[in-house]
Structure 1
């Protein structure tokens, strides 16, 4: 599924997203153009807050691996743009005093 789209074919709606790494969903982006098509969550799996990152890398890094058993991928859903077919991962970060919708383009080359 991740290999089924070339990011250079993004529609005008998706071109406004520059989410090669995780980012907050931009305020003006119309999320209703995205449809949830699946989840990476595993029912009854033990909680895992560990991140699979190389030294010096953060989850915000554009080259961070997409490691499904690790945070935040294990809490993510898979979305597709209804117009162009671009695939995204989304999850909700719930901090002590805030909620932040996050999005990252699904790049097959980074899946580990």
Structure 2
């Protein structure tokens, strides 16, 4: 579920533009992934229905920050949490699109002590913020 080395780095503006170009709603191919907050990728979902179009991982940053962007509190995983590309977990995300309709998603892999969980969040351009750590 990772991207290749040649994936283009998305700026906050480019991320917003990608999100704004999405259609009115998810198609049948990606409807199971359409969620405003981070969710686990369903184990039965065929991820070949998605294509990687870029990354938020800056290749010039060897060890991206684990600092979270949570103005006013709240939880990082909430549906209304901002999408801040320079902060965790976005700085470790790749940008994907549904191969059928082009709906954009962010994908992040959570590495826990005893598990690996692939998470996905639909890209809402209204949530993208350009905040520097």
Instruction: Provide the TM-score with structure 1 as the length reference.
Output: 0.91
Q: 1:18, 1:82 → 2: CA distance?
A: 14
Which residue of the other structure, out of 47, 65, 73, is the alignment partner of 1:31? 47
CA distance in 2, matches of 1:23, 1:88: 11
Can you give the 5+ residue segments of structure 1 that lack an aligned partner in the other structure? none
Cα pair 2:22 2:104 within 8 Å, conserved: yes
Which runs of no fewer than 5 residues in structure 2 stay unpaired?
1-17
Cα distance in 2, alignment partners of residues 88 and 18 from structure 1: 8
Give the whole-Å Cα distance in 2 for the aligned partners of 1:24 and 1:59.
15
Within 5 Å, give how 1:9-48 maps onto structure 2. Answer: 9-45=25-61, 46-48=63-65
Task: String of CA shifts for 1:26-71, please: whole Å, max 9, x gaps.
Answer: 1222111000010000013143001111344112211100000000
- Tell me if the contact between 2:64 and 2:92 (Cα under 8 Å) persists in the aligned partners: no
Q: What RMSD in Å do the two structures reach over aligned CA positions?
A: 1.3
Contact 1:92 1:101 in 2 (8 A): yes
Residue pair 2:38, 2:121 contacting (<8 A) in 1 also:
yes
